[in-house]
C-alpha cells in the first residue's frame, strides 16, 4: 500500500473509532487478518445503517475534510453502498450497507473480533 492510502485509511479508522461508528471489516482485509493471503483493490467495512450511526459517519467524513450534509436515501435504505476514492493512485474504501449472511448486523458485530493497533494514534475496528 502506498503512504497516502495508509494515512487516509488510518485516519478514517481512527475517526470512526473516535466517533463510535459501528462497522465491521469484511472482504479481503478480513481474510488477510485471519491468516489467508488475498489481494484486494479495496478495503471493505459493513456499516450499521441506523440513522444515529450514519450521522456519526457523516461527522467522520466532515472531520476528514469532505463536505457532506447527509447520505442519500438509497444508502439509508441499504440499496446503495458508499465508495470513497482518496486519489487516483489509492485503493477504494467501500462501506457496505447490506451484507447477505445468516445474521443481522448486531449479531455479526457481537460475533466479530476487535482489533486494536497502537501507532501514532490508537486504531480499533472489528473483523468478521
What is the model's pLDDT at position 92? 85
More confident residue, 81 or 125: 81
Rounded Cα gap, residues 87 and 106, in angstroms: 32
- For 82-93, b where at least 16 C-beta lie within 10 A, e where not — what string? bebebeeebbeb
Rounded Cα gap, residues 27 and 20, in angstroms: 21
- Per-residue pLDDT tens over the stretch 32-75: 676 767 666 688 899 999 999 999 999 999 999 999 999 999 99
CB 39 within 8 A of CB 27: no
Domains of the chain: 3-127 (3.30.460)
What is the model's pLDDT at position 75? 97
- Per-residue pLDDT tens over the stretch 2-44: 444 568 888 898 999 999 999 998 886 776 676 767 666 688 8
From the list 10, 86, 13, the residue with the least C-alpha distance to 45 is: 13
pTM of this prediction?
Answer: 0.84
Rounded Cα gap, residues 119 and 122, in angstroms: 6
Amino acid at each position: 500500500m502506498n503512504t497516502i492510502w495508509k494515512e487516509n485509511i488510518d485516519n478514517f479508522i481512527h475517526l470512526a473509532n473516535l466517533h463510535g461508528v459501528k462497522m465491521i471489516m469484511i472482504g479481503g482485509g478480513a481474510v488477510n487478518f485471519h491468516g489467508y493471503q488475498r489481494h484486494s483493490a479495496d478495503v471493505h467495512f459493513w456499516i450499521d445503517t441506523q440513522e444515529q450511526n450514519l450521522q456519526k459517519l457523516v461527522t467522520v467524513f466532515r472531520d476528514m475534510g469532505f463536505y457532506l450534509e447527509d447520505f442519500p436515501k438509497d444508502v439509508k435504505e441499504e440499496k446503495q453502498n458508499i465508495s470513497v476514492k482518496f486519489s487516483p493512485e489509492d485503493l477504494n474504501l467501500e462501506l457496505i450497507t447490506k451484507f447477505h449472511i445468516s445474521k443481522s448486523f448486531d449479531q455479526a458485530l457481537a460475533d466479530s473480533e476487535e482489533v486494536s493497533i497502537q501507532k501514532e494514534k490508537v486504531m480499533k475496528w472489528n473483523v468478521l
